[in-house]
Structure 1
Amino acid sequence: MAKSAPAPLHVVILAAGQGTRMKSALPKVLQPIAGKAMLGHVIDAASALGAAGIHLVIGHGAEQVQYWARAQYGKDAPLHWAYQAQQLGTAHAVLQALPQIPQQAQVLVLYGDVPLVSLSALQNLCAAGTRALALMSVTLADASGYGRILRNRAGAITGIVEDKEASAKQKLIREINTGLLSVPAAPLRRWLPKVKNDNAKGEYYLTDIVAMAVKGGMKVQSVGATPEEVEGANDRLQLARLERYYQLRQAEGLMRDGLSLADPARFDLRGTLKAGRDVKIDVGCVLEGAVELGDGVQLGACCVLRNVRIAAGSIVNTHSVLEDCEIGPDCRIGPFARIRPDSVLGAEAHVGNFVELKNAKLGPGAKANHLAYVGDAQVGGKTNIGAGVITCNYDGANKHQTVIGEDVFVGSDTQLVAPVRVGDGATIAAGSTITRDVPPGGLTIARAREQKTVPGWKRPRKQKRE
């Protein structure tokens, strides 16, 4: 007999809370962990589980949450919304999403402010909840403030008691309910309307369904997790604690794959990292977006990389900032260099201290070793850019390009007023202001012998868009 198809998984994410202890205009679930909103981590986990439907229960800051979701996942993302106008408890919140969930589905309840539950733990919870009510529990040294798991002498779960409702004896229990659970939709649909709010807080507790399941003869079982992965963030201190836990978890995984980190506690990855063999990263580095580091790449202390690809053998020295750029093999960058978007360095190019590139292409072996600005420029191979050189690419309204050929020597303190071209093999004397194209070869000198003022000159203005 063929096996029946598994029930479709529908994930309900509770994200309606105000988060007053954050003291922020940003809804609590949008506070970031590793550069991504906590809610984003939870949605991504639900997607990784292969959820047929993801249902977000929103309330406080609903418009902000929906705007964020559209920006992050697109307006056509398969996210379903349920609005909880009054925060009357977790059972009431899940009830708002229930009409959108098929009768034959399996339901997984997650929380938008509990972002770091591992995929393996969630998979275990879903597996346990196919024919039972499965709860995720954890044992804490201090369980104050949490609902306690109640068990009989045989060890079977009989209920959950909230901290404010617990007796002195029950408060000695250290196994707590995390709030995460998985259960078939059909019994959940029967139980939720029966939940009462006759408790100290006057709320409809989702945990009350445990006693209903036991009474109805349904098996209730627990799935374990580590305390760190099920911790929520209600204030800035907890948020920072989750950040460090998440970063250390990432760092340890990368190091097991061969990455060398000088100190895994002082490393931040706010995106993805693909690293080759023998890559070394010093302390204080922050990597954002998609970063690729080839074999043997070295990052000095306190570098910031955002959406960067660095080929094998290149070294980025301390306190350098690179974003949306591509670095060829065996390059040398920094210290204190800034490489801005759309810049590309060829093999063995050098960009030294206090050099800034923007939309610049440096050919193989080209060098700008100190105190230069190269923007909207193409620089040929083996060309040397001296200290204090500036490509004057902006006239106040428009950007213009500078094209420098191969094997060019640009002397210190030269200004290249774009648009301008410099031919192969040319040498430009230090202190020159270049306003016309420079022919190949030879020495070009352009130093003003007099100072003059042009009366009535008007600075270019940007055209207003209609």
Structure 2
Amino acid sequence: MNLSVVILAAGLGKRMYSQTPKVLHEALGKPLLQHVLDAVAPLKPAQTIVVIGNGAQKVIETIDNGSVQFVIQKKLLGTGNALAVAREKLNKGPVLVLNGDGPLITTKTLKTLLKRHAQSRNILSFLTFVDDSMSGYGRVIRDERGQVTAIKEDKHTTPAEKNRFKELNGGIYLMESGALGYLGRIRKNSTSGEFYITDLVSLLSAAGTKLGAYNCPQEEIRGVNTRKELYEVSEIMRRACIAKWMRKGVTFLDPETSIVHSSVTIGRDSVIYPGTYLEGKTLLGKKCLIYPGTRICDSSLGNEVIIKDSTLIEGSRIRDGAVIGPFAHLRPHTVVGRNAKIGNFVELKKSTIGNGTKASHLSYLGDAEIGDNVNIGAGTITCNYDGTNKFKTKIEPGVFIGSDTQLVAPVVIGKGAYVAAGATITQDVPPGALAISRPSQQNLKNWVRTRVLKTKKRNVKTKRGKKGAGA
């Protein structure tokens, strides 16, 4: 099948009250338009055309992946005009038309539509749903034989028609090339001044062509026109995503307070505590434990990793058995080795941490390569920036770094070396050496007693002076 896809994404989105084009607003971490593109991609269309208008350049910059064609609807004259604009670039063959603000449509439903359309040999087929609680959707009008004859806009439908015709238009159409020839016959609506794609139905019905309307889950048809609807759609996605992972063996202690993007993968027997955010292309291995207040984005975790409370992980890789947090921050391009421990108030940036290495407290390790079984004392800093350039610190396996140490890069700490607490290291430390940079300690005997006596004498003199002044 030489299928073409047209996604209508040119609308103003006035009710969003936003400078961002409506189709670029995100639902569960992805633009609305991207959700629609993801749904049609498995259909393997020969071409996918997105009709844009409002914020066209921003849409192109955000969405363009080389496989999508964009056409611009210069004047926003309705859905019928939008399809007519795209028609010039369409190949011969069936055309699937969707709205860019309908992110809940599934590939399964679209495949069913394609199958039934082909089996019935319709010139035009479209999706419908039934929901008395939803307003603003066109009514599907059928004749006495049950054949579709028209779609009537909600605002033009009489109370009697609303009672009789419960079927609503889902706004997703599949049509043969011959149906496109009727676009030029659509008349401009006298009230809105727009051309409606829904008028194709009555035109094709009057011409005696074969039409089909197929019911689908109403949830999949929901569009987004307001911030409230954006939240509602996001919530439907979130609950569905979490329910999927629970079916696959993941425990959520409070599903209502966790957010998991659809692009996330979670291993069996992992436990997710309340208030957690798993975003982007994050991958969790088996038996991971994610405590409250954690946000993990575009990161990969091995098996049996523990992430303690209030930890932020971005663009990082964590190997099996590592423990991170609480209150840790892993910035992009960080790798943490097997069974390593990154403790409270430790920040890692573009660093590699070896297997079994520990940085348990209050440290900053940036642009560092740290070997296996290294101990990083509390308050250690890799001084990686001189105000102009970044430099690397290398700490070889088995090193012990004492507390309150500054490692001024570029510097290498050799295998098995020790660095004394309070040191400022500006030169390489040889393997097995002890580096000390602080002055030798001095103990002043009887210093406290002498200080107390001096203080008492000073106070006596002060009191005498005050009495003399008073006399």
The 8 Å contact of residues 298 and 316 in structure 1, kept in 2 or not, is answered as: yes
User: What are the Cα deviations for residues 435-455 of structure 1, in whole angstroms up to 9, with x where unaligned?
Assistant: 2222333543212579xxxxx
Q: Report matched runs for 1:195-344 at 5 Å.
A: 195-270=186-261, 272-344=263-335
The residue that corresponds to 1:41 in the other structure is 35
- Aligned-partner residue type, residue 21 of structure 2: P
- What is the CA distance between 1:156 and its match in structure 2? 2.7
Aligned length: 437
The whole-number CA distance in structure 2 between the counterparts of 1:58 and 1:380 is: 52
Which of 1 and 2 has greater Rg? 2
User: What are the Cα deviations for residues 326-384 of structure 1, in whole angstroms up to 9, with x where unaligned?
Assistant: 11111111011111122222211000010011122222211001100111112222211
The residue that corresponds to 1:32 in the other structure is 26
The whole-number CA distance in structure 2 between the counterparts of 1:265 and 1:171 is: 36
The 8 Å contact of residues 356 and 373 in structure 1, kept in 2 or not, is answered as: yes
The residue that corresponds to 2:70 in the other structure is 81
The 8 Å contact of residues 248 and 268 in structure 2, kept in 1 or not, is answered as: no
User: What are the Cα deviations for residues 190-240 of structure 1, in whole angstroms up to 9, with x where unaligned?
Assistant: 321111124433322211121222222223222222222211111211111
Q: 1:352 to 1:209 in 2, by over 3 A?
A: same
Identity %: 39
User: What are the Cα deviations for residues 376-427 of structure 1, in whole angstroms up to 9, with x where unaligned?
Assistant: 1122222111111111111111112222222222111111111222223332
Aligned to 2:155, the other structure's residue is in SS state helix
Are 1:55 and 2:43 matched, yes or no? no
Are 1:123 and 2:111 matched, yes or no? yes
Are 1:19 and 2:10 matched, yes or no? no
The 8 Å contact of residues 334 and 352 in structure 1, kept in 2 or not, is answered as: yes
The residue that corresponds to 1:159 in the other structure is 150
Q: 1:347 to 1:83 in 2, by over 3 A?
A: closer
Aligned to 2:88, the other structure's residue is in SS state helix
Question: Gaps spanning 5+ residues in structure 2: where?
Answer: 442-471
- What is the CA distance between 1:289 and its match in structure 2? 2.7
Aligned to 1:110, the other structure's residue is in SS state strand
**TM-score (norm. length: structure 2):** 0.88
- What is the CA distance between 1:271 and its match in structure 2? 5.5
User: What are the Cα deviations for residues 81-113 of structure 1, in whole angstroms up to 9, with x where unaligned?
Assistant: 33222222211111111122234x101110111
- Aligned-partner residue type, residue 106 of structure 1: P
- What is the CA distance between 1:149 and its match in structure 2? 1.2
Bigger shift: 203-212 or 326-335? 203-212
The 8 Å contact of residues 375 and 393 in structure 1, kept in 2 or not, is answered as: yes
The whole-number CA distance in structure 1 between the counterparts of 2:58 and 2:349 is: 34
- What is the CA distance between 1:316 and its match in structure 2? 0.9
The whole-number CA distance in structure 2 between the counterparts of 1:385 and 1:45 is: 48
- What is the CA distance between 1:39 and its match in structure 2? 1.2
- Aligned-partner residue type, residue 35 of structure 2: H
The whole-number CA distance in structure 1 between the counterparts of 2:267 and 2:172 is: 38
- Aligned-partner residue type, residue 43 of structure 1: L
- Aligned-partner residue type, residue 115 of structure 2: A
- Aligned-partner residue type, residue 6 of structure 2: V
Are 1:423 and 2:419 matched, yes or no? no
Q: 1:218 to 1:265 in 2, by over 3 A?
A: farther
Are 1:182 and 2:174 matched, yes or no? yes
The residue that corresponds to 1:457 in the other structure is none
Aligned to 1:129, the other structure's residue is in SS state helix
The whole-number CA distance in structure 2 between the counterparts of 1:381 and 1:64 is: 46
The whole-number CA distance in structure 2 between the counterparts of 1:84 and 1:423 is: 65
The 8 Å contact of residues 376 and 400 in structure 1, kept in 2 or not, is answered as: yes
1:134 to 100, 125, 128: 125
Aligned to 1:272, the other structure's residue is in SS state coil
The 8 Å contact of residues 349 and 365 in structure 1, kept in 2 or not, is answered as: yes
The whole-number CA distance in structure 1 between the counterparts of 2:70 and 2:327 is: 47
The whole-number CA distance in structure 1 between the counterparts of 2:341 and 2:47 is: 51
Q: 1:233 to 1:410 in 2, by over 3 A?
A: same
The whole-number CA distance in structure 1 between the counterparts of 2:344 and 2:59 is: 42
The whole-number CA distance in structure 2 between the counterparts of 1:66 and 1:266 is: 34
Q: 1:354 to 1:155 in 2, by over 3 A?
A: same
Are 1:111 and 2:102 matched, yes or no? no
The residue that corresponds to 1:460 in the other structure is none
- Aligned-partner residue type, residue 400 of structure 1: F
- What is the CA distance between 1:260 and its match in structure 2? 2.1
Q: 1:349 to 1:86 in 2, by over 3 A?
A: same
Question: Gaps spanning 5+ residues in structure 1: where?
Answer: 1-5, 451-466
The whole-number CA distance in structure 2 between the counterparts of 1:28 and 1:263 is: 31
- Aligned-partner residue type, residue 224 of structure 2: A
The whole-number CA distance in structure 2 between the counterparts of 1:400 and 1:83 is: 48
The whole-number CA distance in structure 2 between the counterparts of 1:245 and 1:429 is: 56
**Larger proportion of strand:** 1
**Larger proportion of helix:** 2
The whole-number CA distance in structure 1 between the counterparts of 2:395 and 2:317 is: 20
The 8 Å contact of residues 284 and 302 in structure 1, kept in 2 or not, is answered as: yes
The residue that corresponds to 2:448 in the other structure is none
Q: 1:271 to 1:359 in 2, by over 3 A?
A: farther
The 8 Å contact of residues 406 and 424 in structure 1, kept in 2 or not, is answered as: yes
After superposition, the CA RMSD in angstroms is: 1.9
Q: 1:198 to 1:357 in 2, by over 3 A?
A: closer
**TM-score (norm. length: structure 1):** 0.89
The whole-number CA distance in structure 1 between the counterparts of 2:67 and 2:408 is: 52
Aligned to 1:63, the other structure's residue is in SS state helix
Aligned to 1:229, the other structure's residue is in SS state helix
Are 1:354 and 2:345 matched, yes or no? yes
- Aligned-partner residue type, residue 320 of structure 1: T
The 8 Å contact of residues 295 and 312 in structure 1, kept in 2 or not, is answered as: yes
The 8 Å contact of residues 143 and 176 in structure 1, kept in 2 or not, is answered as: no
- Aligned-partner residue type, residue 168 of structure 2: I
2:63 to 52, 58, 69: 69
The 8 Å contact of residues 272 and 289 in structure 1, kept in 2 or not, is answered as: yes
The 8 Å contact of residues 402 and 420 in structure 1, kept in 2 or not, is answered as: yes
The 8 Å contact of residues 271 and 287 in structure 1, kept in 2 or not, is answered as: no
